[in-house]
Amino acid sequence: MSAGPWLRRILLVLLAALFAYSLSDVGLLETDRLQRGVQNTGRFLRGLFPPAWDVLPDVARAAGETVQIAFIGTALGLVLALPLSVAASPAITGRGVALTIRLLLAAVRTVPALLWAIIFVVAVGLGPAAGSLGVAMYSLGYMGKLFSEAFDGVDPEVLEAVRGTGLGRAQLARYALLPEAANQLLSQLLFMFEYNVRSSSIMGFVGAGGIGYYLLGYVQTLRYQELTTALLVTLVVVLAIDRLSAVVRAAFLSGRV
Amino acid sequence: MSVHLEPATESLPPAPHAEPAVLARGVWFGYHPRRPVLRGVDVTARAGEVTVLLGASGSGKTTLLKLIKGLLATGQGEITVLGRSSRAGGRPSALDARVAYIPQQLGLVRNLSVLDNVLVGAMPRIGTARSLLHWFPRDEIVAAHAVLQSLGIGNKAAERVLSLSGGERQRVAIARALLQRARVIVADEFLSQLDPVTTDEIMTVMHQIAAQGVALVMTTHELDVVTRHADRVVVLRDGLKALDCPAAEVTSDSLARAIRQ
């Protein structure tokens, strides 16, 4: 028998051992704790109903702010990511510059959105401005990566043929790279917006605006019925944004826009 | 149908006996140092003529076209295109608008309109700032419409390329080359996805363009294209030139033998 199957078995055993060790290490094998957890969850779930509708106006206003944070953050992220990802395309700027910008984008990506929000709370103070800037930086990192990968996927034959007409790099980006990748860019932009609506809903945890402020406050003060209202509003907003994205995506891809 | 040419090419008289538009001498090239694709090939293409490169897959046709356009750097030997010569490592035609390149899949930008694809050919004349702002001079737009009209797709100018048929896309690629004011058109297998009737139509157009002073160098697998439309035929076999003669002197059978021998 070759070494392949044995190696696979050893790897599986090691993986199982690591899983069991980690399970124990994080406390998920403590039966007392798990029993308490089940009881607490039952109490928590019972406490969620009925929703407290009197907080609806406040919560709805905060949900609107959450969408605004996501919208502004995504738009600012797009404005920053688009030129940088074009510059991160070896077809436009050459390997050296492209690699440097990709490293820069990777560095931006290593910082989570919530941490960016904390940094901007320190910089510009509490409120949705900090949340918007945090979302923008996070979006820059991710859209920069996704866009440059979309550009990498553009048919080199198209770039060769268009470049061969004597175009400069900026013209090549404007009339070949961007339009050829447009469908993917739009799809990724909408995905980013959907994702940002979700991530903006916890920006309030660190004082960066939106519905997160209420979500955290209701949990901390054990106001579970109010929490249900906030969660339901968040759910409705997220579903509505997903649906809107799907409509925009379909309209664009079918050539109606 | 008569094809409208841009002024720079229109003013050129057909000059079949003038200095060749493309002159390749002793060209060696390999993607891997020990496996040369071309082994000392000589090819001449003149203005006013349709020169067809034939050969089995892997015989070096596409490589030779890419060398002529400057998409690959010359290995050994010398390639002179429109008077600009390139030796080892050079590729002077890469950004030369006078040398148009139509790849097998045509190299059109599918999400752009037909008109914008054609205007790409005029952009080096328009300048960066104006073209980035999509602010094209009126005469270039008129010229683009005239070229499309003469190629029979004037009514498609506003449509996106992705909604066109194969034959219409072919015409857009030709229109772009014409707006480029190309004096050499290098076309790689660009008839491969067309039915025989459309192939005939496109080749009639290409012949009209060549007759107005343009050198057309193209590859194909269609032997009929050579006997019906070519002025000169070059057969490549295993990186060597197996045949080079006026198209009038060959038949489909003799070509098939030259390719396979």
| Alpha-carbon gap, residue A195 to A199, rounded angstroms | 6
| Alpha-carbon gap, residue A135 to A144, rounded angstroms | 14
Please spell the DSSP secondary structure of chain B, one letter per residue: ------HHHHTSPP-TTSS-SEEEEEEEE-SBTTB-SEEEEEEEE-TT-EEEEE--TTSSHHHHHHHHHTSS---EEEEEETTEEE-TT--TTTT-TTEEEE-TTTT--TTSBHHHHHHGGGHHHH-HHHHHTT---HHHHHHHHHHHHHTT-GGGTTSBGGGS-HHHHHHHHHHHHHHTT-SEEEEESTTTTS-HHHHHHHHHHHHHHHHTT-EEEEE-S-HHHHHHH-SEEEEEETTEEEEEEEGGG--HHHHHHHHH-
Residues 90-129 of B with CB under 8 A from A: 94-97, 99-112, 116, 120-121, 123-124, 128
Which of A164, A170, A175 is closest, CB to CB, to B116?
A: A175
The DSSP bridge pattern shows strands B76-81 and B22-29 to be antiparallel
Tell me whether residues B121 and A165 touch, CB distance under 8 A.
yes
Find chain A residues with C-beta within 8 A of B71's C-beta: 160, 164
Find chain B residues with C-beta within 8 A of A180's C-beta: 109-111
Class of the domain covering A54-253: mainly alpha
Rounded to a whole number of angstroms, the distance from the CA of A70 to the nearest CA of chain B is: 28
Reported ipTM: the value is: 0.85
Domain residue spans of chain A:
54-253
Find chain A residues with C-beta within 8 A of B100's C-beta: 164-165
pLDDT, tens digit only, all 261 positions of chain B: 566 555 554 444 444 456 899 999 999 999 988 889 999 999 999 999 999 999 998 899 999 999 999 998 888 889 999 988 887 777 777 788 899 999 999 999 999 999 999 999 999 899 899 999 999 999 999 999 999 998 999 999 999 999 999 989 999 999 999 999 999 999 998 888 788 888 888 899 888 999 999 999 999 988 888 988 999 999 999 999 999 999 999 888 888 888 887
- Assigned token pair, B212: 């107005």
Tell me whether residues B120 and A179 touch, CB distance under 8 A.
no
Nearest chain A residue to B94 by CA: give it. Answer: A164
Peptide bond into B196 cis (omega under 30): no
Is pLDDT at A209 greater than 60 in this prediction? Answer: yes
Greatest distance between any 2 Cα atoms in chain B: 55
Q: Taking the CB of residue B28, how many other CB atoms lie within 10 A of it? A: 16
Residues A118-134 pLDDT 10s: 999 999 999 999 999 99
Find chain A residues with C-beta within 8 A of B180's C-beta: 165-166
**Sign of the CA dihedral A202, A205, A210, A211?**
positive
Rounded to a whole number of angstroms, the distance from the CA of A90 to the nearest CA of chain B is: 16
Q: Taking the CB of residue B164, how many other CB atoms lie within 10 A of it? A: 19
- Assigned token pair, A76: 């600012």
Q: Which pLDDT does position B1 carry in this prediction?
A: 54
